[in-house]
Structures are given as structure tokens and as C-alpha cells.
Amino acid sequence: MGGRRVLLLIGVSTVLISGILGVFIGESGGQVAAEISLFGLLSLPTTPLAFSVYGMVLSVVILAVLFGLVEFASRMEQA
């Protein structure tokens, strides 16, 4: 298996796990508060769907940045 396929598999697995954890956290968090504030910028309702989507989007953004940095370092090494 090539390096790109391994990174893609790790990325997809991470996003799926983030979504699953978001469902559980949203389910238990809804009993504590109706919504939470993220960094004072965004109010997020404590529902399983909201936490799942938030976790998946955040994971995609972080992984895109990290994989982008890996790609950049790889190109710099070849230059």
C-alpha cells in the first residue's frame, strides 16, 4: 500500500471516529446545557448531530492542514 493510501485511510478513519464520538458527547452534553459557546465566537447546540458534524468538520480541517504540510515538506525535499 502506498503512502498516500495509508494517509487517506488514517484520515477517513479519524473523521469517522470523530463523528461517532460527537454523537456520544452530544447525547450526554445535552443533559448538562442546551448550548455551548466555542471560543466566544460560535454557539453550538448540544445535540448529537451538531457535535458529530462539528467534530467531523474540525477533524477534516486539521487533517487537511497537516497533510498539506506533509505535501509541502515532500516537495521541498525533492527540490
pLDDT digits (tens, 9 = 90+) for 16-72: 999 999 999 888 877 777 788 877 888 888 888 988 998 999 999 999 999 899 889
Give residue 8's pLDDT band: very low, low, confident or very high (50, 70, 90).
confident
Dihedral (CA of 35, 38, 42, 47) sign:
negative
| Domain containing residue 9 | 3-78
Q: Scan for cell 478513519, then name that residue.
A: 13
CA–CA separation, 64 vs 54, rounded Å?
Answer: 15
Q: Helix (H, G, I), strand (E, B), or coil: what is residue 36?
A: strand
* The total number of structural domains that make up the chain: 1
* Phi, psi of 45, rounded to the nearest 5 degrees: -65, 145
